[in-house]
Structure 1
């Protein structure tokens, strides 16, 4: 693992890299606040479907360098390996692209991306924008059995979806047509990666557990350091043979996601960031030879290069696109793949005319604001007690951060505790600066805005959806003083709303394992202490529980026995803090 970097500050690294895109392609601009790369206003962009994608940084040139004529209209960046927030995506949809012909949002199959992009799409629809979303999951490295509810991860094959959809949009197709072809492309994609080592994220401590032994390769490794199907010592021909079998063998029912049997197949050999151009050429040759000799496949198009990375990952991925009839009466997938585009991340240079146009136009209009005037409600509470209880809960989350981070380092990517602490800190600052009123709905609504602005990733999206639904439920409650039963009923409705966006249920080893017991106990007993204890017991039960959602899915079985689910533990800390108790794994909860 290479842990040396020229830029060790991850925030500076992401921001400066985004800025560089405007320097190398004069047709794109940067909304630095929301980390959005977007096409500058031009006649060619005005009367077509806009296509927006994005995700965590660290996968460059995806996604920002694919913004340009004939490809993406905008790309939204999160911090390294973390999805952007729903507010960032909403800003892209409502203020950084043309919406006249509609907007197609494409995301890779990662929980945080689906939740945040999905929430933004729903908000855009509610505001009257014609918006649709396509989720791409092309990775076969983790099969059906292990993938479970999560499904296939999205990796490098996603860029083919972007290229084909972008070309179709540029030719004036409707939103319905562009969505159909994008989805069809995604459904006919298979990819698998392999790497000689994990990668180091700038600004994080180096973990010895992330190293692979000399000569060892991780087959099926994800683009965020996630584990694959196995680790083995293989030479390149043996490795390619195994990877192609995972992509093509129809007898492997765990991975036979696509029957690649059309007359036309597209091959993409992608550099994960740390393979030399020389070596990638040798890898490409080996892949093409084995496709012909072992599978009788002669690709009609071969793309080899750096399209979607895992920082400086010392690995590569293979993607195969089964070219099928689009049935829209227009250009074929191959014609769309060949259609000219102008984006620095694609193997097409910026044309002379673009440089000489000296287009300096930007979009200075602010994102379309949601209603900033909060409606007063008739649901009340004692403002002082509300503030004290909430403060206690937030401080409990902050205090639990080291423990949550330690747990997440064992079974995740180590950012859960920091994310929860970031949100708790922001809400705490808010209530210290703004004295809460007795209006329950107004106060929770203000907190929603703080959470949406301060928390990204999967946890941020889950809490934002839950709290938005809580506001709606509380507003529908009977007027008067908010009782424990009022909160329980509203939270129950919030859980139902959350279930529309995530398949997580009790027993799936997620924060839901704390949330549901809390709500059920509060509804049954009306006692906050009992409900908080139920949340803690639910969190403790996740120790040894097999994960079926999130990146913890890809962790080895033995590690689940070591710690409880980090998200469930952090949420239990909050509930116990609300009740004036603190979380103590060894001795049980105790009064603060």
Structure 2
């Protein structure tokens, strides 16, 4: 492949692409430091609505930034090329860039980085008292159930139908629950698959000579993902044969590994034929015709709506994807059916609807970003704790975790990339510094929020995201139990909040006990504390759970890819580190 690009610097490329969007739609603004595109506040008496936020790695344009506009998204958060944006970017978008009065819905594709980082942003917003929901879209039939495992289907181009339909409903003034329910209805009735003639070259990366893993001139890869991921098979075939295979993966109900939908000839179906970036408009027309003819001939399906164009790309990928949406009843009445919502106008440059003339005149004035209202003051609660005791107990626990760093690092060197212990130590040391310098408070949530802020800024990677999501959800769980008058926080209140945060964490990671992750320590700790209200028993249960990961085959995380010998004799480093921390809490309470 040629490495020629007009812009070879990936950072400059992403930044300038984002800056171009307000030029093409004057209703939008760009927060470049946080890579956020969002609607300008109009201040013209327009009624408030549920805000819809989406995003992901750059390289999928016009998704997602060019879908921001009236009738579609309220804001979009961009990462670097093919990489998820950070949780901090997401948090800023939710808290400071969109309307929050009627709630916020986050729509994200099912990729680990996106789910974790957007999820952390959601939990952060919830912890501050906002009404936020999140829908994860996994529509890809390119990888079957067996290969997908616990992670499930990837999110690909069908996601744009979820965004468009939920965006139209939000514009009509529907509630957050109604919008989220319809988004889930669409996601649950979607199936998609993509194919490509080649992998793409990412600007800024070195060009490697074509090797045996690259597609040959006469090959096509079926099920290729939008981040250059391999598909399920490679074939030498023509277009009719390729489309036939793709439709079979989407519609063959006898294939139990891939049968994700039950679409039949009696259903109303929406068809989306999406250009992955490098197919000419002329050729996409021929592809669309082939898809429509095969649907009618082989499956007796005549789509009631056909969208063909460039919606979600893989840079300049020479490929296309097919998405099929089974039209279901929203139950919301006239004007709010899936088809009516799909047909509703959207003033977004990446969608087919044109920007109205009146919008150009009204909003094509110089816009200055105002930063008022960006304070992150923590709302106090009526849950009281003994801050002196809490500081003492935490100090004991954190010092025990720091002392365990050499063992954790050794274990992670064997089963991972060796950074787990250093990351935990860095976070623990930062929290200790925070405890020494922070103002004394007996408010449990204010105390916890200070720790959360440290975790979010000093701990990175997957473990940092998991700790931050869990702690934010813990703050939310505590706030839900706060009464109108001051009350001491009890072990029962902690246990209930921990149960809710464990449930929240399960939305963003499929990890469960037995997968050789920190969940093997966290799960028994929370469950035992809820049952016994005894932290000593709970910490011992966490320690036992961590020790039981020795010899356990990993289902998630980097350990999945580790071969050879050695991993059977060591515990999961994340589970061991968490157990040491929890044992330290128990130890601190005994002093």
TM-score, normalised to structure 2, is 0.75
Residue pair 1:423, 1:454 contacting (<8 A) in 2 also = no
Pair 196,20 (structure 1): closer, same or farther in 2 beyond 3 Å: same
SS in 2 for 1:369: coil
1:246-280 CA deviation, whole Å, 9 max, x = no partner? 11112222222222234532111112223333332
Pair 202,525 (structure 1): closer, same or farther in 2 beyond 3 Å: same
* Residue of structure 2 equivalent to 1:155: 156
- Aligned counterparts of 1:203 and 1:151: Cα–Cα separation in 2: 31
* Residue of structure 1 equivalent to 2:39: 39
Pair 511,382 (structure 1): closer, same or farther in 2 beyond 3 Å: closer
Matched, 1:378 2:389: yes
1:9-49 CA deviation, whole Å, 9 max, x = no partner? 54444333322222222111122333221100123754222
* Residue of structure 2 equivalent to 1:322: 326
- Aligned counterparts of 2:470 and 2:183: Cα–Cα separation in 1: 30
Residue pair 1:57, 1:79 contacting (<8 A) in 2 also = yes
Pair 497,372 (structure 1): closer, same or farther in 2 beyond 3 Å: closer
Residue pair 2:87, 2:120 contacting (<8 A) in 1 also = yes
* Residue of structure 2 equivalent to 1:257: 260
- Aligned counterparts of 1:244 and 1:196: Cα–Cα separation in 2: 18
SS in 2 for 1:68: coil
* Residue of structure 2 equivalent to 1:462: 466
Residue pair 2:105, 2:176 contacting (<8 A) in 1 also = yes
* Residue of structure 2 equivalent to 1:311: 315
Choose 335-344 or 144-153, whichever is displaced more.
144-153
Residue pair 1:419, 1:456 contacting (<8 A) in 2 also = no
Alignment of 1:236-251 (within 5 A): 236-251=239-254
Q: Which of 350, 372, 376 is the matching residue for 1:369?
A: 376
SS in 1 for 2:262: coil
Give, in angstroms, the shift of residue 192 of structure 1: 0.8
Residue pair 2:8, 2:204 contacting (<8 A) in 1 also = yes
Pair 252,539 (structure 1): closer, same or farther in 2 beyond 3 Å: same
Report the RMSD for the aligned CA atoms in angstroms.
4.7
* Residue of structure 2 equivalent to 1:79: 80
1:493-535 CA deviation, whole Å, 9 max, x = no partner? 9698446423312443545468789999x978999xx979x96
- Aligned counterparts of 2:29 and 2:420: Cα–Cα separation in 1: 29
* Residue of structure 2 equivalent to 1:483: none
Matched, 1:508 2:511: no
Alignment of 1:426-441 (within 5 A): none
Give, in angstroms, the shift of residue 577 of structure 1: 12
- Aligned counterparts of 1:105 and 1:472: Cα–Cα separation in 2: 18
- Aligned counterparts of 1:76 and 1:271: Cα–Cα separation in 2: 22
Alignment of 1:386-405 (within 5 A): none
* Residue of structure 1 equivalent to 2:360: 355
Matched, 1:117 2:128: no
- Aligned counterparts of 2:127 and 2:286: Cα–Cα separation in 1: 51
Choose 85-94 or 201-210, whichever is displaced more.
201-210
- Aligned counterparts of 1:436 and 1:41: Cα–Cα separation in 2: 39
Give, in angstroms, the shift of residue 159 of structure 1: 0.4
Residue pair 1:193, 1:219 contacting (<8 A) in 2 also = yes
SS in 2 for 1:33: helix
Q: Which of 338, 341, 349 is the matching residue for 1:344?
A: 349
- Aligned counterparts of 1:345 and 1:278: Cα–Cα separation in 2: 19
- Aligned counterparts of 1:47 and 1:516: Cα–Cα separation in 2: 40
Alignment of 1:562-581 (within 5 A): 571=574
Q: Which of 222, 225, 233 is the matching residue for 1:219?
A: 222
- Aligned counterparts of 1:341 and 1:574: Cα–Cα separation in 2: 49
- Aligned counterparts of 1:104 and 1:265: Cα–Cα separation in 2: 25
1:166-195 CA deviation, whole Å, 9 max, x = no partner? 112222333333223222222221101122
Matched, 1:287 2:288: no
Residue pair 1:65, 1:343 contacting (<8 A) in 2 also = yes
SS in 1 for 2:142: coil
- Aligned counterparts of 1:254 and 1:226: Cα–Cα separation in 2: 20
* Residue of structure 2 equivalent to 1:335: 340
Pair 250,510 (structure 1): closer, same or farther in 2 beyond 3 Å: same
- Aligned counterparts of 1:510 and 1:470: Cα–Cα separation in 2: 20
Give, in angstroms, the shift of residue 333 of structure 1: 2.0
Residue pair 1:343, 1:350 contacting (<8 A) in 2 also = yes
- Aligned counterparts of 2:410 and 2:211: Cα–Cα separation in 1: 26
- Aligned counterparts of 2:473 and 2:360: Cα–Cα separation in 1: 48
Residue pair 2:477, 2:501 contacting (<8 A) in 1 also = no
Give, in angstroms, the shift of residue 287 of structure 1: 1.5
Pair 216,421 (structure 1): closer, same or farther in 2 beyond 3 Å: farther
* Residue of structure 2 equivalent to 1:561: 563
- Aligned counterparts of 1:382 and 1:235: Cα–Cα separation in 2: 68
Pair 117,245 (structure 1): closer, same or farther in 2 beyond 3 Å: same
Q: Which of 267, 273, 276 is the matching residue for 1:272?
A: 276
Choose 212-221 or 67-76, whichever is displaced more.
212-221
TM-score, normalised to structure 1, is 0.75
* Residue of structure 2 equivalent to 1:235: 238
- Aligned counterparts of 1:157 and 1:246: Cα–Cα separation in 2: 15
Pair 227,32 (structure 1): closer, same or farther in 2 beyond 3 Å: same
Give, in angstroms, the shift of residue 74 of structure 1: 0.9
Alignment of 1:168-247 (within 5 A): 168-203=169-204, 211-214=213-216, 215-247=218-250
- Aligned counterparts of 1:209 and 1:12: Cα–Cα separation in 2: 29
Give, in angstroms, the shift of residue 6 of structure 1: 4.7
Give, in angstroms, the shift of residue 323 of structure 1: 1.8
Pair 445,309 (structure 1): closer, same or farther in 2 beyond 3 Å: same
- Aligned counterparts of 1:174 and 1:284: Cα–Cα separation in 2: 36
Unaligned 5+ runs, structure 2: 479-493, 529-534, 582-591
Unaligned 5+ runs, structure 1: 409-416, 475-489, 579-592
SS in 2 for 1:307: coil
SS in 2 for 1:151: coil
Residue pair 1:14, 1:79 contacting (<8 A) in 2 also = yes
SS in 1 for 2:376: coil
Alignment of 1:413-492 (within 5 A): 448-453=452-457, 458-467=462-471
